[in-house]
Amino acid sequence: MSETRERIAVVGAGLVGSLWALMLTRRGYTVDIFDRRPDPRTAGDVGGRSINLALSERGWKALDLAGVQDEVREISMPVKGRRMHALDGSLTFQPYGRAEGGRFGEGECIYSVARGSLNQLLLEAAEKTGQAQVHFNHKLEDYRQDDDGVTLNFGAGGERKADRLFGTDGAFSAVRMRMMKGDRFDASQEYLKHGYKELELKPDGQGDFQLPSDGLHIWPRGHFMLMALPNPDGSFTCTLFAPFEGVDSFDEIVDSDAALAYFEKHFPDFVPLMPDLKAQWDSHPLSSLAMVKCAPWHENDRVALVGDSAHAIVPFYGQGMNCGFEDCTVLDGLMDRFLDADGGGHWGEMLAQYSELRKANGDAILELALRNFIEMRDLTGDPMFLLQKRIEGRIAKQHPDQWVPLYSQVTFTHIDYAEALKRGNRQRAIMHQVMDRPDIENVSDSPEIVAQAIALLQEGA
Ligand SMILES: Cc1cc2nc3c(=O)[nH]c(=O)nc-3n(C[C@H](O)[C@H](O)[C@H](O)COP(=O)(O)OP(=O)(O)OC[C@H]3O[C@@H](n4cnc5c(N)ncnc54)[C@H](O)[C@@H]3O)c2cc1C
């Protein structure tokens, strides 16, 4: 590890900021991490966002690079597929990927991890290096670039100097707001018309899971859905995604009695599992989902955005954090290419390259996540869609070098999101042709179907 005199400020001690700070310390930088929140170890605050998250291959790669993969594995649990709950209470299981292989040799699965525990682990790992200091209760108000660095303004908290600044301050980034005042910086923010409310499904009297713990449970109901992701402690974090307004919306759920009636109507098998549903409804907040796009993701050679500050997306592919972690992997790789051993070198070119490489991928994963919302809430309950998935699974199994299902590309590989979107579009068009056959339900298991799909793929190659 090389010594350097550069002092780097990371604004935002969330998931991405704490991982990026850890990576920087491992390269020998002195890092100051600032966050507007109080210390969550004493305040018990996890940032007001989802309680648990799904970690997948892109996230694991970054954690491995940062040297904390094994520690994180210890606090996470595998989730092997989707378990769909139909209105009549029947259950269908759809595995996420292959039963063998995967990063930990336990098949291709995603991993559920508590946001607070992961955040704390990363922050403490960064602090333990002795080269990172976390400054809580520091809300960035503004910054300015000087000849010799960046001056960060924390209002009543005073000013601090740094050589570089990374904005990892989330969807409503103050760093991005400041960049918007500069020249030729594009930014847009849009709210989804759906909001969400989280509820906790507690373990049963013996401390066991009330639902099978190997799956992400989905109650798909067309334009809204309920989801439940297991936690290692035997509980599930459940999330109702529904429109804010209109039919079956949050607007219609005027109080906890209406909430109970809504659940009894749409999720009858869920209601007996949560006797305190009404109390939770009253005490848990209703949250909105913002989507952010911007360009470029850097300002000359001193300031850059990483994570949600650059690309806030909707959560339906379970990729927001994973994408932010992949930003860190890419930045880390570019540092090897553009910087000298002492940390000096071509920062401007490096950050421009980072922005160029990642912007298209940030846009692509937003598009993919929006599409997955429709798939999860609408199509996962459709028998023809399930048949299509089964056929696609067979094609992929027999021709793994030619056909990787889109979900697997996004979740279990490092193929650029933009490339995955392109390949996914091609495969989707082919599957539509295959599913359009009038005899598809009779011939779905025949070798002819696989051959047809591969022939169509090769035709377009
Ligand atoms: C319901 C839901 C479910 C999700 N599920 C998944 C999932 O399963 N898998 C997945 O990969 N992703 C998921 N995500 C997305 C994931 O939560 C985000 O992508 C991730 O938290 C981004 O991390 P971040 O560090 O960039 O931003 P954040 O986690 O938002 O952290 C930003 C930090 O910056 C601090 N900050 C903000 N402004 C300032 C300021 N002015 N000064 C100083 N500090 C500031 C904040 O206090 C915070 O600590 C989900 C999101 C939601 C909403």
Which of 377-386's residues contact partners 24+ apart within 8 Å by CB, and which partners? 377/220, 377/221, 377/222, 377/223, 377/224, 377/225, 377/241, 378/220, 378/222, 378/223, 379/220, 380/82, 380/84, 380/94, 380/218, 380/220, 381/84, 381/86, 381/220, 381/221, 384/435, 386/92, 386/94
Ligand 1 pocket test, candidate residues 169, 291, 325, 376, most atoms within 8 A of CB? 169
Cα of 393 vs centre of ligand 1, distance in Å, is 33
Does residue 263 register a pLDDT over 60? yes
Predicted pLDDT of residue 175: 98
Does residue 293 register a pLDDT over 60? yes
Pick the CATH number of 7-78+109-189+290-373 from 3.40.50.920, 3.40.720.10, 3.40.50.11930, 3.50.50.60: 3.50.50.60
Predicted pLDDT of residue 48: 47
Q: Sketch the domain layout of the chain as residue ranges.
A: 7-78+109-189+290-373, 191-288, 382-459
Give the distance, in angstroms, between the CA of residue 448 and the centroid of all CA atoms in the same chain: 38
For 108-162, the pLDDT digits (tens) are 999 999 999 999 999 999 999 999 999 999 999 999 999 899 999 999 999 999 9
- CA–CA dist 1, 131 (Å, integer): 12
Predicted pLDDT of residue 42: 77
Share of the chain above pLDDT 70, in %: 96
Predicted pLDDT of residue 410: 98
b/e burial code for range 423-439 (CB count within 10 A of at least 16 → b): bbeebeebbeebbeeee
Tell me the whole-structure pTM to 2 decimals.
0.96
The angle that helices 417-435 and 347-377 make with each other, rounded to 10 degrees, is 30
Does residue 381 register a pLDDT over 60? yes
What mean pLDDT is predicted for residues 207-223? 95
Sequence-separated (6 or more) residues with CB below 8 Å from residue 2: 27, 28, 341, 342, 343
Name every protein residue with a CB atom under 6 angstroms from any ligand 1 atom.
Answer: 11-17, 34-37, 47, 49-50, 53-54, 139-140, 168-170, 174, 196, 307-308, 315, 318-322, 324
Does residue 305 register a pLDDT over 90? yes
Average model confidence (pLDDT) across the chain: 94
Does residue 49 register a pLDDT over 70? no
Sequence-separated (6 or more) residues with CB below 8 Å from residue 449: 391, 394, 434, 440, 443
What mean pLDDT is predicted for residues 4-18? 92
Cα of 50 vs centre of ligand 1, distance in Å, is 9
Share of the chain above pLDDT 90, in %: 89
